[in-house]
């Protein structure tokens, strides 16, 4: 019920193209994104090797007009680089990019996050930035932004989008924030922090924020239990929720 029509329409085409081709007892994994210029489909798992499999998949992708189809990181059919618009910026999507579940949900989150950060704040840190759900909109509003994310392909996509949009005040760094959280002077120099960790939360990073964080922290979470733990760390450090 929550899938966009283009995703639903792709399923029978994929079933037909893959009929008799799956050799993995665990089945085949599909990661499908509706980019702004078509579907980006990444397959992973055992497929029958050989020319027939590749041709059948490529012909299906071409007939359907999909932007990109890959199997185990290798291209099968690429019409064009999938991309996603974020305000003035266009993000070239890496394979199996992590997106918000829906465009509407993403817009709501962006509105709430930006509303929580005062206009006069100069530097904003975007921690666990992904490919930039928040960093690019913040840069477009005029803030200087330092984005940190553990996935190198997401940082590469963010940097490419920032360059194309002319956001010279945005920097992006690949960094495992669970093992190496941003701390000390890097936090004290910021006017605000946005943090949007994965389901495991951000215990180490929140401990650093509780000690040296700026006056405003905007937290986004998909897991109430780890958010409650992290919020308690910040409360114990003197923040009000």
Four-CA torsion 187, 85, 96, 229, nearest 10 degrees: 30
Nearest to 191 by CA among 144, 133, 155: 144
**CA atoms of 4 and 100, how far apart (whole Å):** 13
- Would you say 38 and 66 are in contact if contact means Cβ atoms under 8 Å apart? yes
* 222 tagged catalytic: yes
From the candidates 23, 222, 225, 236, give the one annotated as an active-site residue: 222
**CA atoms of 83 and 45, how far apart (whole Å):** 25
**CA atoms of 140 and 86, how far apart (whole Å):** 10
Alpha helices in 103-223 (DSSP H): 103-116, 135-140, 152-165, 185-188, 203-212
Give the end-to-end CA distance of the chain in Å, rounded to a whole number: 34
Label the pairing between strands 192-195 and 216-219.
Answer: parallel
Instruction: Name the 3-class secondary structure at 77.
Output: strand
Task: List the catalytic residues.
Answer: 222
């Amino acid at each position: 019920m929550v899938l966009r029509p283009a995703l639903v329409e792709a399923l029978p085409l994929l079933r037909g193209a893959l009929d008799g081709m799956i050799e993995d007892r665990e089945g085949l994994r599909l990661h499908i994104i509706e980019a702004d210029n078509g579907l980006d489909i990444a397959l992973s798992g055992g497929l029958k090797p050989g020319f027939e499999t590749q041709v059948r998949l490529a012909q299906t992708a071409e007939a359907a007009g999909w932007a990109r189809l890959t199997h185990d990181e290798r291209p099968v059919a690429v019409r064009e680089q999938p991309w996603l618009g974020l305000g003035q910026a266009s993000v070239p999507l890496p394979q199996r990019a992590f997106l918000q579940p829906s465009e509407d949900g993403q817009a709501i989150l962006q509105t709430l996050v930006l509303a929580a950060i005062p206009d006069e704040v100069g530097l904003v840190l975007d921690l666990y930035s992904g490919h930039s759900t928040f960093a690019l909109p913040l840069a477009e509003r005029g803030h200087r932004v330092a984005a940190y994310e553990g996935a190198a392909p997401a940082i590469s996509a963010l940097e490419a989008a920032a360059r194309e949009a002319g956001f010279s005040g945005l920097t992006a760094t690949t960094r495992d924030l669970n093992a190496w959280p941003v701390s000390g002077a890097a936090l004290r120099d910021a006017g605000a922090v946005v943090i949007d960790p994965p389901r495991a939360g951000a215990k180490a990073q929140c401990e650093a924020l509780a000690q040296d964080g700026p006056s405003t922290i905007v937290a986004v979470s998909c897991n109430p239990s780890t958010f409650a733990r992290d919020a308690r760390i910040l409360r114990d450090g003197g923040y009000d929720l």
